Amino acid sequence: MTQALLDGTDCVLFDAYGTLFDVHAAVQRHAAAIGPDAAHLSEVWRNKQLEYSWIRALSGRYRSFWALTEEALDYALALHPTVDPALREPLLDAYRDLDAYPEVPGVLRGLRARGIRTGVFSNGNAAMLERAVASAGLGPHLDALLSVEAAQTFKTAPAAYADAVARAGAARERVLFCSSNRWDIAGAAAFGLRCAWINRRGLPDEYADLAPAAVLGSLDGLLA
């Protein structure tokens, strides 16, 4: 199945946060200082970050993803008043330099060895992506960093996917898009992209009418 997925593929685009980078790594680095609310704080931070992006896209009022990340953390801290607010800046610093999942460098190298171009396509603004990619040492393995910042909206707006495909320089039907976010896969499928859902957490499927071409437990599945 995976070989068929890559057949006719000139370019693989990857969502960044949750797909290449572990979005919970920032809180995990400070879990001892945060205390027992660490896991819930991390979930709230992530969920609000995404919620804010959807509201901004729907209302046509774009703000940088970094600004939304800060606002989401402020909400998460306010919801957990026992957590020391002085952790705000250390948490934001940690988010700038998130850990990449272990298989990521090898998968990127493997794809390029097959003559397939690779790129990031993310809600993250350009400065966020450049910092994250550099800190994780992924720069040499990527051909493009594509931010929705250029389209001034967020996924799942069709304009975001259209802008990314145009800048990737490949025909839509020859692009494979990979994301760990099922809502992102739904948006990309609605736009007409072939998609692989990287279901790291073994979540139940949804959006049955906007199905991915493949469901993989990790990015390793692309080269299996």
Distance in angstroms (rounded) separating the CA atoms of residues 161 and 164: 5
pLDDT over threshold 70, residue 3 = no
Give pTM, 2 decimals.
0.95
CATH superfamily of 1-22+100-223: HAD superfamily/HAD-like (3.40.50.1000)
Q: Based on the number of CB atoms within 10 Å of its own CB, is 173 exposed (0-12), middle (13-18) or buried (19 or more)?
A: exposed
Active site residue 15: yes
- Please tell me what DSSP assigns to residue 117: E
Return phi, psi of residue 149, to 5°: -50, -35
Q: What is the per-residue pLDDT for 224?
A: 84
Residues 6+ apart with CB under 8 A from 75: 44, 45, 48
Instruction: Please report, for the chain, the start and end positions of each structural domain, with discontinuous segments joined by +.
Output: 1-22+100-223, 23-96
Task: Tell me how far apart the alpha carbons of residues 85 and 186 are, in angstroms, rounded to a whole number.
Answer: 36
Question: Which tens digit of pLDDT belongs to each residue from 21-67?
Answer: 999 999 999 999 999 999 999 999 999 999 999 999 999 999 999 99
pLDDT in tens, 152-200: 999 999 999 999 999 999 999 999 999 999 999 999 999 999 999 999 9
Q: What is the pLDDT of residue 163?
A: 97
Residue pair 72/79 in contact (Cβ under 8 Å)? The answer is no
Across 131-156, average pLDDT: 97
Catalytic residue among 7, 15, 93, 205: 15
- Contact (Cβ atoms closer than 8 angstroms) between residue 14 and residue 119: yes
Fold of domain 23-96: DNA polymerase; domain 1 (1.10.150)
